[in-house]
Chain A
Amino acid sequence: MDRILPQPTPETRHFWEGCKEGELRLQRCAACAKSYFPPRPFCPGCGSREVEVYPASGRASLYSYVINHRPRPDMGAEPHSIAVVTLEEGPRMMTNITGCPQTPEALQLDMPLEVTFLKASDEISLPLFQPAKG
């Protein structure tokens, strides 16, 4: 079964284009310097429309998660993590932690992570996170 995929909008297209190119893109306000997510063409901190898109470092830490024991059919049969990570730049996003056992022992809060992209279709690559190497 094909994975359920996002449908980009004009306001979020740069983010999904970035994922396709292997780059995690955030937005930052020129007026107050706040970095934010999800994408929108104005700053949620001060309301300014003077915002820029920039590549994030891809480094993050594990903020919280569950291990879903009743996966959705498109997610396979094995229990898997559904996590929220804090990006080095400040914003948080939901993701899956990959490249390690899906167990409470392997998934420790605050562990360092790095982004990796799962090519799900010609148009969509999903930003996932794995334990940071070195």
Chain B
Amino acid sequence: MKQKSVAVVGAAETTKMGKIPDMSVLGLHCDAALNAMADAGLKPSDIDGVATAGESPVQIANALGITPTWADGTQVGGCSFMLHVRHAAAAINEGLCKTVLITHGESGRSRVGSAGFGRAPSSWSGQFEVPFGVTSPPTMFTIPALRYMKTYGITEEQVAMVSVIQREWAARNPRASFKDPITVDDVLNSPMIAWPFRMLMCCLVTDGGGALILTSADRARDFPRKPVYVLGTGESVETPIVSQMEDFTTSKAFRVSGRKAFAEAGISHADVDHLMIYDAFAHLPIYGLEDLGFCKPGEAAAFIGERNTAPPSEGKKGGKLPLNTNGGGLSYMHSGMYGMYALQESVRQMRGIAPAQVEGAKISVCHGVGGMFAASGTVIFSNEA
């Protein structure tokens, strides 16, 4: 896509976050959408493009009273919303629509009006993974990690440190689900889920939602909020079942998506002020830092351990690459498809209104994963026109 040709002009999460037993999945989508429209000063009749995952764009458009000329129901898991941003940018540039609403809502904890995980017994998953006892992501997403740890000599303590540092960021965020400090010992002594993964290395399960509104850069200046420009985007997919991932020490989808986004944006890693890497589990920021090219293979755990991604603490300066500044899926919230919350935090950082604001941040990279290393989407934002 053309750099900065499209901008985010509306962004909001659901009114409540965490445990929301009085709202269905559809209700959460629409609550977030109404909040984003209010943020942008728009009505449903101003929207002519709709993209969503988890629900059909038909359902969302009809429920909100929108008559779109463009709809996108791309559903590749938690990074679907990164792909929606990319597809929306292309659609706006092509003149298919002018103003796109992207919604997410999920009743991950309360399970109200929620379809749940279903895997047909005739699918590849149903035939070649489910019979061996996999259940939810903690028994699938985690399987590659041991090979990574053996290849590079990474310890369980180093993986636990990812959770510790993200909790430090969460402590600065009033909306975060978990804010109390934790230690490496706390992580390693938390209940065993699927060795080597303990509970505090796994994401939360909560209810919530979020929505974004995008339009062309030339229209963006007329909106109430400071526009956040889309500088570059990438996407890719690899495999529907984690056992068929090409190499358990690196994600091909991450590498392809990240390279494409950096090339489109025309930036180098030194230009990045703020980074979000979808962290459904503690090993994901490690894979992300390496596959996006911020660290060499095998070096990301030490990079995190040396506090390069950490907030300021006890008089010590914060790290040079603030990462997952909302607390991430490990401590902020995780409804199931977390990508929308990573995008929301990037937009807040670019607007300068994040609870743990990175002073002077101009470029934010937001990197998502879908399924179990199945898919990936990357969006690079800039707050300079």
Please give the residue numbers on chain A whose beta carbons come within 8 Å of chain B beta carbons, in ascending order: 3-9, 12, 16, 37-38, 63-72, 75, 79-80, 82-84, 92-96, 104, 109, 120, 124, 126
Contact = CB atoms under 8 A, between A and B. Distances in A.
12 contacts: A4-B121, A8-B122, A63-B147, A64-B143, A65-B143, A66-B195, A67-B195, A69-B194, A82-B143, A104-B195, A109-B146, A126-B132
Contacts of A66: 139, 142-143, 146, 194-197
Interface stretch (B70-78, B123-131, B286-294, B356-364): B123-131
A6 B143 contact: no
A69 B195 contact: yes
A104 B150 CA distance: 12
Given A64-B144, A69-B193, A93 B243 contact: yes
Contacts of B242: 84
Contacts of B194: 66-70, 82
Contacts of B120: 7
Nearest to A12: B127
B147 A64 contact: yes
A83 B126 CA distance: 16
B282 to A, nearest CB: 13
Contacts of B138: 70
Contacts of A63: 147, 248
Contacts of A84: 143, 242-243, 248
Given A6-B121, A82-B133, A64 B146 contact: yes
B26 to A, nearest CB: 30
B313 interface: no
Contacts of A104: 195-196
Nearest to A36: B244
B117 to A, nearest CB: 12
B150 A94 contact: no
Contact of A72 (B124, B133, B143): B133
Given A64-B145, A79-B195, 13 more contacts: A7-B126, A63-B248, A64-B143, A65-B146, A66-B143, A66-B196, A69-B192, A70-B138, A82-B139, A93-B243, A94-B134, A104-B196, A126-B131
Interface of B: 120-122, 124, 126-135, 138-139, 142-147, 150, 191-197, 241-244, 248
Contacts of A71: 133
- Dominant secondary structure of chain B at its interface with chain A: mixed
Given A38-B244, A69-B195, A84-B243, A4 B131 contact: yes
Nearest to B195: A67
A126 to B, nearest CB: 5
B147 A94 contact: no
A36 to B, nearest CB: 10
A37 B135 CA distance: 22
B146 A5 contact: no
B126 to A, nearest CB: 6
Closest 8 CB pairs of A and B: A6-B127, A64-B147, A7-B121, A66-B194, A94-B243, A67-B195, A7-B122, A75-B133
B130 A4 contact: yes
Most buried by A among B122, B142, B146: B146
Contacts of B196: 66, 104
A52 B211 CA distance: 49
Contacts of B132: 82-83, 94-96, 126
Contacts of A5: 121, 131
A8 to B, nearest CB: 7
Contact of B130 (A6, A8, A38, A79): A6
Contacts of A96: 132-133
B243 to A, nearest CB: 4
Given A4-B130, A66-B194, A67-B195, A94 B122 contact: no
Contacts of A75: 133
Nearest to B192: A69
A87 to B, nearest CB: 12
